[in-house]
Amino acid sequence: MRAKLLVLVCMAAWVAPAFQETDPRAPKVFQWIDERSGDCHMSGTLTLYPDGRAHWDATTWTDSTHNKDYWHETLRVFNSQNQEVFGFGVWNSPPMDSPPNGGQYNWSAEGTFPREFFDAVSSASSLGNC
């Protein structure tokens, strides 16, 4: 049994690289610092990968509510002619309270886009409301 397991492990190591896609292009990263809507704030980073994955990391907070505010984030991506290439719909923060019961809320979201659009990406916009 041990010999069969060793053969299987060796075969997996030999075959695995054929299924792994490597792409030398660096991800495209867009950042926004302290955007505001009403008494809410958001700082976030959108990272686009050549394989069509998107990752959103954000920190949101509110100054003066105890009514569970939400940050509603809409991200749009543009080409060099400022034409929209794709977007991600609306991503929502966790419910927020102001201090002392609340504070800063770290959250993330995942998305995808057609990988053939990666090279056309030139800029991104953030539209948030609370």
- For the whole model, what pTM was predicted? 0.80
pLDDT of 23:
83
CA dihedral sign, ordered 17, 20, 25, 26: negative
Per-residue model confidence as pLDDT tens digits over 45-87? 999 999 999 999 999 998 887 788 899 999 999 999 999 999 9
Per-residue model confidence as pLDDT tens digits over 77-119? 999 999 999 999 999 999 998 877 778 999 999 999 999 999 9
CA–CA gap between residue 76 and residue 125 (Å, rounded)? 5
CA–CA–CA angle 66, 68, 73 (5° rounding): 135
Query: What mean pLDDT is predicted for residues 6-24?
Result: 45
For each of the domains in the chain, give its residue range(s) and CATH number, in order of start. 26-129 (2.60.40)
CA dihedral sign, ordered 104, 108, 109, 113: positive
